[in-house]
Structure 1
Amino acid sequence: MSFEVRMKCREMLAGALKLVDTAEGSADPDDMATRLEEAIYDELRNSEFKYKNRIRSRLSNLRDPKNPELREKYMRGEISPDTMAKMTPEDMATDDLKRIRQSYSKQAINQAQMRKVQGTKTDVFKCDRCQKRNCIQLHTQDGDEPMITFVICEECGHRWKG
């Protein structure tokens, strides 16, 4: 990775951090941009392609006018440069977007399960994965074999024998 590329990335990150006046108690945008770029470089120095994509992702999220909280939390030190460098798009999303994605996921899980499963809702079982008691119970019995109980968590989709 060339020195010029790294300096340009730092400059762009600093520009994204300076989009809004920094609140009192915030760090210097140039310093925070340098620290973020160094954290990304330390992790991805062997892949220029991945390094540039990670920088682009951070720029996009830091510039997002709908997500000023991310920039503010980073500038106040609530998110460290190392953490910011490794955050996924889901981690950087606004709280509203996270809630929307979560509701879509729950709807998709429920729709997929209801198409396949017609069981009885129960709170008798506790999911090992999410620790919730929102489950569907199914019973199967073939001929002279004993009855088997299957349980599906409606929260996370985890399946097990009860």
Structure 2
Amino acid sequence: MEVTEQGCREMAAKLEKTTEKDPSGVGAIELLKLVLDADVKDKLKILSATKLSKVVVKLSKRDGCDREVRDLAEQVIQKWRRILNAPKASAKNAAPAPAPAPAPSPSSASSGFKSRPVAKTGEPTRDMVRQKLQQVFEAGIAANESRLREHESDTAEMAQEAEQALFDRYCGVDKEYKQRFRSLIFNLRDEKNPDFILSVVSGQTHVNDLATMDIKDMASEEMKRTRSNWVENKKMARAHAATRARTLRRTRAHVHTQACRLRLLAPTRLTFAQALMDSKSYEQYTGKKQQDGILKCPKCKSMKTEYTEVQTRSADEPTTKKCFCNDCNYRWKFC
């Protein structure tokens, strides 16, 4: 196999076509042997640019592939890693240089993404948004480099797709477009929410979904739990308030019923003692002297008596007089 850009592209296309026809990938064994025998020293950038390395990594992790295919793909990857780490090993054994070399930038130190300029749109606001998004994506990949060693990302393409999705959703650069961009930048840069930027740069959350994603879905797990607890507490508070309101209504209805029974709502103003007692008990309670009645008690001969008339027989019969003596509490009746 000739390790050129055109040859690597053709090899990647053949591997993809073979695995599409046969999911087990048995037909890719001969192709992988050619890739394994090829001399790729000082040509690793060509493998990354033509996506041949990405196709081989997928074959090594594919569940439906034949065991021999996965082993061959793993051997190819191990060979490439040894070539990639060979300069680092020789540099460790070499004598230290008199002047320390400057520290590489995060974009050049990371081999998991391509750093290239984003495509210009001719509109300053959109170009600025694309540059800011690319910077955020590169910073996220650099912060999670240990987790993304075998993951290749094109930050420029990611930034372009995210900005294009924003532009298509809001049909232009308006107030909502800018507000959505500020919200995205805040959540992507949030140090308290590293899982969100990791999900974006690792591909779990597609960049096209950032334009339509709900703000609540961007929050961290801790914030989601806090918000869920707040909603549950609010529901419980509403339930308690409704219970208290029902209890208060029942209490008011009960008090109103008792007030009606105790004649507190009568036109005449009565004291609380008058409402609780009948007229006779209230007069005894206040010490008011009772007046003489028209009947004499047959027992103690006192005139402090009272009576009530009750119709106990038919309507053409006279009423029955029920009498009571206030001095000796003697009761009698007559017709």
Q: Name the residue aligned to 1:124.
A: none
Give, in angstroms, the shift of residue 117 of structure 1: 2.3
Higher relative contact order (CA 8 A, sep 6+): 1
Indicate the SS of the match to 1:66.
coil
Specify which of 49, 63, 69 is matched with residue 195 of structure 2. 69
Q: Say which SS state the counterpart of residue 69 (structure 1) adopts.
A: helix
Structure 1 portions without partners, runs of 5+: 119-162
CA deviations on 1:46-79 (whole Å, 9 max, x unpaired) are 4511111111111000000111111111111111
Match of residue 131 from structure 1: none
**Partner residue in 2 for 1:4:** 124
Quote the offset at 1:27 in angstroms. Answer: 1.6
Specify the alignment match of 1:79 in structure 2. 205
Secondary structure of 1:107's counterpart equals helix
TM alignment of 1:103-114, pairs within 5 A: 103-114=229-240
SS at match of 2:139: coil
Out of 221, 232, 255, the position equivalent to 1:95 is 221
2:136 corresponds to: 16
Q: How does 1:129-148 map to 2 (within 5 A)?
A: none
Q: Give me the whole-angstrom Cα distance separating, in 1, the residues matched to 2:157 and 2:172.
A: 24
After TM superposition, give the deviation of residue 16 of structure 1 in Å. Answer: 1.4
Cα deviation, residue 82, structure 1: 2.3
Contact 1:26 1:77 in 2 (8 A): no
Distance of aligned partners of 1:37 and 1:46 in 2 relative to their CA distance in 1, 3 Å threshold = closer
Change (3 A) 1:26 1:76: farther
Unaligned 5+ runs, structure 2: 1-120, 245-335
Question: What is the RMSD computed on CA atoms of the aligned residues?
Answer: 1.8
- Structure 2 distance, partners of 1:28, 1:82, is 14
- Aligned pairs, how many? 118
Amino acid at match of 1:3: E
Q: How far, CA to CA, are the matches of 1:55 and 1:12 in structure 2?
A: 10
Higher helix share: 2
Q: Structure 1 stretches (4+) deviating beyond 2 angstroms?
A: none
Tell me how far apart the structure 1 counterparts of residues 194 and 132 of structure 2 sit (CA, whole Å). Answer: 17
Q: Structure 1's 26 and 103: CA in aligned 2 closer, same or farther, altered over 3 A?
A: farther
Question: TM-score normalised to the size of structure 1?
Answer: 0.67
In structure 2, what is the Cα distance between the partners aligned to 1:2 and 1:113? 57
Rg larger for: 2
Distance 1:116 1:43 in 2: 43
Mapped contact 1:35–1:81 kept (Cα < 8 A): yes
CA contact (8 A) 2:167 2:173 kept: no
TM-score after normalising by structure 2 = 0.33
Aligned equivalents of 1:7 and 1:57: distance in 2?
18
Is the alpha carbon distance of 1:41 and 1:33 closer, same or farther for their aligned partners in structure 2, counting shifts above 3 Å?
A: same
Percent of residue pairs identical: 25
1:43 equivalenced with 2:43 (yes/no): no
Greater fraction strand: 1
